[in-house]
């Protein structure tokens, strides 16, 4: 395989496209995707990776003029391939699961802090931790919109990817990130106002806990 | 109204402690993550100080972090690069 500079890759992939360069890039993408996905997916990895590599090649060619040359061309192309693969894997994984299923799935409708039984925390720590967790739950109920609450539950508790939650809410991944970011900022501000604690205080209180 | 369970609340508390006044979104992170990885892998500066906004986004966004870790694998990058970006 020819070792190409960024400029050489760009020239080879512009019309008329060099079939040799395209095949070299396909091989690079397949190799990278296999390394990424071998421990993450079950089933026919070769077929899956070939499909993703083909889709990624199309996207690379379509996006060619957006490449700014700040990284190696092959790193940029592999980033696209990973994004193509994970977008599709997430779509397949979550396609039959509704947002309501996720939001209503809970490990207990009643909030009971098991932290009280944590043997590594002192009684004082336990009390403080419990107080903070209860305060945050109250703030979630009182300060967030239904949409913010649903989005946070689906993402943080349900583990649903942002892109999939966004589809259910009729928005996009960026806008959803902003929605949750605004919610985090509001909760952060109100938590510190209410508790008179700082971020460092909170982290210290929960230090060495599995978070 | 559905409530968060204990583990989610604990994670949220930690996330709140790491919430910044300004954060980049997923698209901006995606646009810069290839440069971030190469600067960490081949740059002269210590990786801990490289592109803090990208690193922070990767720490608070599970989806972007998942793709970042996969990209490190694809590039045959060193495992320590994954440890650079820890879940918040």
* pLDDT recorded at residue B47: 75
B41 has pLDDT over 70 = yes
* pLDDT recorded at residue A118: 58
Give B86: exposed, middle or buried? Use CB within 10 Å, 0-12, 13-18, 19+.
Answer: exposed
CB contact under 8 A, B15 and A184: yes
DSSP state of A41: -
pTM score of the predicted model: 0.89
Q: Which residue has the tokens 């990767």?
A: B58
pLDDT in tens, A179-200: 999 999 999 999 999 999 999 9
CB contact under 8 A, A177 and B61: yes
Q: What is the 3-state secondary structure (H, E, C) of A178-194?
A: HHHHHHHHHHHHHHHHH
A25 has pLDDT over 50 = yes
Average pLDDT over residues A174-178: 95
pLDDT in tens, B49-68: 889 999 999 999 999 999 99
ipTM score of the complex? 0.91
* pLDDT recorded at residue B42: 87
Q: Which of B17, B25, B61, B68 is the best substitution to test chain A (most A C-beta atoms within 10 A)?
A: B17
CB contact under 8 A, B34 and A79: yes
pLDDT in tens, A49-60: 999 999 999 999
Is A176 in contact with A147 (CB distance < 8 Å)?
no
A121 has pLDDT over 80 = no
CA dist., res. A98 & res. A180, Å (int): 19
């Amino acid at each position: 395989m020819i070792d190409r500079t960024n400029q050489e890759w760009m020239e080879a992939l512009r019309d008329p496209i060099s079939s040799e360069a395209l095949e070299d890039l396909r091989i690079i993408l397949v190799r990278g995707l296999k390394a990424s996905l071998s421990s993450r997916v079950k089933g026919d990895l070769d077929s899956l990776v070939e499909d993703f590599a083909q889709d990624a090649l199309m996207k690379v060619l379509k996006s060619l003029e957006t490449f700014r040359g700040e990284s190696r061309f092959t790193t940029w192309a592999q980033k696209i391939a990973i994004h193509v693969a994970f977008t599709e894997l997430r779509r397949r994984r979550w396609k039959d699961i509704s947002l309501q299923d996720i939001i209503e799935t809970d490990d207990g409708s009643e909030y009971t802090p098991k932290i009280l039984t944590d043997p590594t925390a002192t009684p004082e720590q336990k009390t403080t931790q419990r107080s903070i967790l209860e305060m945050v739950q109250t703030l979630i109920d009182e300060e967030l919109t239904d949409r913010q609450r649903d989005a946070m539950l689906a993402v943080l508790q349900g583990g649903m990817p942002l892109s999939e939650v966004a589809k259910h809410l009729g928005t996009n991944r960026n806008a959803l990130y902003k929605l949750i970011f605004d919610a985090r900022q509001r909760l952060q501000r109100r938590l510190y106002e209410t508790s008179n604690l700082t971020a460092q205080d909170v982290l210290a209180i929960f230090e060495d806990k599995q978070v | 109204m559905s409530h968060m369970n204990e583990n989610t609340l604990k994670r949220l508390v930690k996330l709140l402690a790491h919430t910044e006044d300004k954060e980049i979104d997923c698209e901006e992170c995606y646009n810069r993550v290839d440069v971030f990885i190469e600067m960490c892998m081949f740059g002269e500066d210590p990786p801990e100080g490289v592109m803090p906004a990208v690193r922070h986004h990767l720490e608070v966004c599970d989806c972007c972090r998942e793709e970042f870790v996969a990209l490190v694998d694809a590039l045959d990058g060193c495992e320590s690069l994954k440890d650079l970006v820890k879940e918040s």
